Amino acid sequence: MKHAYVYYRIDPVQAGLAAVRINTLLETMSPHCSQLPRRLSRCDDATTWMEIYEDIADFAAFVAALNSAVQMIGCAAFTQDERHLECFFLG
């Protein structure tokens, strides 16, 4: 199984909007994971956020669904720069 980690910076003025939309995104993406997705903030920089998606069976389908959901939910409205997706697996 693969795990996805998405990190990005948010506009701190829009943190409330960001939280609502990312929580919606996590709910939307939960069927693609065996564990509930999570949102974290960086310890030393509260404007850097990370989404964690674990135990993804079909990573290509996950990425397509994630890209679609990010567009549909409007996640670019509060991010600074781009979202970065990393894929890891237990080795």
DSSP string covering 1-40: -EEEEEEEEE-GGGHHHHHHHHHHHHHHHGGG-SS--EEE
Domain of residue 70: give its range: 2-89
pTM score, whole prediction:
0.94
Residues 6+ apart with CB under 8 A from 65: 28, 29, 32
**pLDDT (tens digit, 9 = 90+) per residue, 3-55?**
999 999 999 999 999 999 999 999 999 999 999 999 999 999 999 999 999 99
Q: What is the pLDDT of residue 78?
A: 95
What CATH number did the domain enclosing 70 receive? 3.30.70.100
Phi, psi of 29 (to 5 degrees): -90, -10
Q: What is the pLDDT of residue 41?
A: 97
- The total number of structural domains that make up the chain: 1
